[in-house]
Amino acid sequence: MKSVTSSDLARINERPLYELECIVLKSDQTTFVLNNSNFAINPLNFSCSGDGSLPLGKAISKECVLTIKKNSNYGKEDFVDAKIAMYVSIAGNSTSLFYEIYYVYDVTQTDDTITIRAHDAMSRLDRIWVPPSEGIPIGQRTLRDLVQRVAYDCGLSATVASFPHDDFVYTHLPYGYTGRELIGYVAMISGGNAFCKVAHFFDDIRIEIKPLSQQQHNDLTKFIGNVDVGETVSVTGLITHRVIDIDKNPQDPAQYSVGNEGYMVELSNPLLWGKEIQCL
């Protein structure tokens, strides 16, 4: 076995396994490009957040951190409120593959570097959704309609892919929840999680709700707080509670369950109110 010399390391660093290119869309709608030569360290650091410890019934948001060298062509202010389109290619291959769109939310700098923190389109839904004052007709209260309405009202123009149980009709309008929480509740009824996918440069955002059986490994890579059970667990049943007072009066609610005692998963979901048994 040959030892890796300093010259070997230098050649490896000169020819990484992949190369990253970022097109930055500034808040004034002008653009500039970042490539591997601009990055101060390994360019990508990703994490995922699903608002909880168990990746079921969550709206998954991806986050990235970029650390770049200071340059006369750009400064900290150029990244404030910017959008970043990422393209990845294999070193030496001129063909780039579109990867993801990220929205910058924090920029810091030192004497030598600028650190950019950004998250994907799902983060746009982290605001309280307010139902229309005139209400929503029962005929428009399907889960798919709710996802479309919540996304639009939260400022995210997105199409919604079909998903299991997207025609389920909820009874009561939910109040006091963020758009992301509500889409997570929709995903729970579908038996999976929700993701934002972008097909093109700053265009064609698509919300996908995937049952667990259809999710890929990279959908949940580095999921924050993911539970490590350590052994195979068979879910034997489901439990939910009927909220007696829709205004969240702290009364003891009625309990509904299906399945057998053993390892039972409890579902807490405002979209189930009045239809607990049907949904279970």
Residue by residue, pLDDT tens for the chain (280 residues) are 344 445 544 544 555 566 788 889 999 989 999 888 888 765 555 555 544 444 678 888 888 888 899 888 899 999 999 999 888 776 666 677 777 888 999 999 998 899 999 998 898 899 999 998 888 887 788 999 999 999 999 988 888 989 998 999 988 888 899 999 999 999 988 888 899 888 666 567 889 998 765 555 444 444 333 334 444 445 544 566 555 444 555 554 566 655 556 555 566 778 877 666 666 5
DSSP 42-97: SS-EEEEE-SSSS-SS-B-EEEEEEEEE-BTTB-GGGGTT-EEEEEEEETT----E
Which among 275, 210, 215 has a CA at the least distance from the CA of 240?
A: 275
C-alpha distances out from residue 160 to 22, 46, 140, 145, 269, Å:
27, 25, 15, 9, 21
Kindly provide the b/e burial profile for residues 88-122, where b requires at least 16 CB atoms within 10 angstroms of the residue's own CB.
ebeeeeeeeeebbbbebeebeeeeeebbbbbbbbb
- Tokens 């699903």 appear where? 50
Q: What letter would DSSP give residue 125? A: G
Q: What letter would DSSP give residue 113? A: E
Q: What is the edge-to-edge ordering of all strands in the sheet holding 192-200?
A: 158-160, 203-211, 192-200
pLDDT of residue 269: 79
Q: How many residues does the structure list for the chain?
A: 280
pLDDT of residue 243: 53
